[in-house]
Amino acid sequence: MTIRRNKIVLSKQGMYTSKFILICLGSLFFSASYNMLIPELPSYLSSLGGAKYIGLIIALFTLTAGISRPFSGKLTDTIGRKPVMVFGAMVCLVCGCFYPILTTVYGFLLLRLFHGFSTGFTPTAASTFVSDVVPRERLGEAMGIQGIAFSTGLALGPALGSFIKLYFSYSVLFYSSSAMAFLALLLIMNLKETLPKKQPFRLGLLKISKNDIIALEALPPAIITFLSYVGFGVVLTLIPDWTEAVGFVNKGVFFIVFTISSLFVRFIAGRLSDSYGRIKVIVVGLVLLLIALVLIGRLNTQSGLLIGASIYGLAMGIISPAINAWTIDLSLPEQKGKAIATMYIALEAGIGLGALCSGWYYQEATSRIPFIMYCCAGLAFVGIVYIIVIKRNNIAKY
């Protein structure tokens, strides 16, 4: 890869190999598996008598996801990408089968805690796998396409989940989640390992030192990720109730519009980040994110919510592939899993904090939602200032 006048010259190497296609399809079914539950979990927990714990639905999930990131990063760099992805998909499969069995509030919360291991493992290894099988100079484009697949699952999942609950039952919804995870598992099992010198698993690999937790070189994208995803935790927690409050029957409608608007912009944003640099693209995404969060809070009508959802989708569709590629750019070749895990730790911390704080403040009072959204917009502004500062001071490349 050569750089001329701050622009990256793109290679014409093939990118659409069977490995890349399989990992994209696996990402689609994996994301659909766990996300199809999101719109219906608040009402399900309330039916169990746990309405006051709604903020924990996302917070517990992201807690274990965040805690597991250092382990998944280390294992991805040692035993291989494939076994780490397999473990995450297996967690989704098992949890879907147990939700109908553990029907107490504390049983549900325990499952949410365990379910978080799925996203703590599979996405870390999947992103690393993508970086192994595509040309380095087309990494942003590749991350954008994988993001399209993942986001398609995020869109189809909530819509399908709400449809299943509307016409069937919670049990059918949970078992359908397991079925999606099983399809992801089948696709992952057909992948060939890409780590050149993998080690056999041993318990000693689960010993984590402070040097295994954070890749310092990946801190700039991690900080931007945190500031961007606090709002996402809020959205996952409050939007189902906000959607219902403005008159929608299907609680997944926001996520449908959000994901559709982000799908194709991911492909374009990824390519632009390859050509013009990650930071310039991320700044555009952060500006749109700020605007979207303000609109979601202020336009409390059906059309207003859909406008906010569409701009929010554009923002996240621009930010996500650029940040993923930026993280790889800054990583050490032999520690790509660790760098990606660092970025995902920040992601889970942002989502978890957003979900926990918003759930605590919300207390089923929809009048409080606009203020929460404005606070998230303020964090997006902080992100804009931070990334401009590091760009001007040449603290991080790209």
Mean of the per-residue pLDDT values for the chain?
A: 87
Q: Which residues contact 210 (CB under 8 A, 6 or more apart)?
A: none
CA gap 64, 62 in Å, rounded: 6
- Residue 5's pLDDT is 34
Q: Is the pLDDT of residue 140 over 50?
A: yes
Q: Is the pLDDT of residue 98 over 70?
A: yes
Of residues 180 and 211, more confidence is placed in 180
Of residues 309 and 245, more confidence is placed in 309
The residue assigned the tokens 């404005």 is 374
Q: Is the pLDDT of residue 3 over 70?
A: no
CA gap 89, 64 in Å, rounded: 15
- Residue 101's pLDDT is 93
Least-confidence region, from 10-24, 76-90, 356-370: 10-24
The DSSP secondary structure of 120-162, one letter per residue, reads: HHHHHHHHHHHHHHS-GGGHHHHHHHHHHHHHHHHHHHHHHHH
Contact 312, 256 (CB under 8 A): no
CA gap 261, 176 in Å, rounded: 26
C-alpha angle with apex 280: 352 to 31, nearest 5 degrees? 35
Query: Where would I find the H helices in the chain?
Result: 18-35, 41-47, 56-78, 81-98, 105-133, 139-167, 170-189, 219-245, 253-276, 278-298, 302-330, 336-362, 369-392
Q: Is the pLDDT of residue 365 over 90?
A: no
Could you read off the pLDDT of 233-265 as tens digits, one per residue?
Answer: 898 888 888 888 887 877 778 888 887 888 778
Of residues 154 and 120, more confidence is placed in 120
